[in-house]
């Protein structure tokens, strides 16, 4: 699977130090979807909420989680486009 440049940039912006993500992006490996799926299940821990000094700290964590979920949704669309021809709700 060939990942578009913009998608690669979005992945690297969210996961800058995740070497495996970088490798999978470059090789076009679809296992990237599994990693993005697993990472999109993040949540804000109660301890993080209780320790937060400002609402901005919590909001920042929430925005990262949202970006991860949107990124995984984009991967799903890319995968669907690359591997399935969907017409009238059916896979051809």
Six token digits for residue 74: 């984009």
DSSP secondary structure code for residue 53 in this structure: S
Confidence (pLDDT) at 75: 97
Q: Give the rounded percent of residues in the chain with a pLDDT score beyond 90.
A: 83
What is the C-alpha separation between 20 and 18, in angstroms, rounded?
6
DSSP secondary structure code for residue 85 in this structure: -
Confidence (pLDDT) at 1: 87
How much is the average pLDDT of 57-77? 96
What is the C-alpha separation between 3 and 81, in angstroms, rounded?
11
What is the C-alpha separation between 86 and 88, in angstroms, rounded?
7
């Amino acid at each position: 699977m060939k990942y578009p440049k913009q998608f690669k940039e979005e992945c690297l912006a969210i996961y800058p130090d995740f070497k495996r993500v970088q490798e999978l992006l470059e090789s076009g490996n679809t296992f990237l979807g599994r990693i993005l799926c697993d990472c999109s299940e993040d949540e804000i821990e109660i301890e993080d909420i209780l320790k937060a000094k400002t609402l901005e700290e919590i909001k920042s964590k929430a925005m990262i989680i949202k970006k991860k979920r949107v990124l995984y949704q984009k991967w799903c669309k890319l995968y669907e486009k690359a591997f399935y021809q969907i017409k009238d709700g059916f896979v051809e």
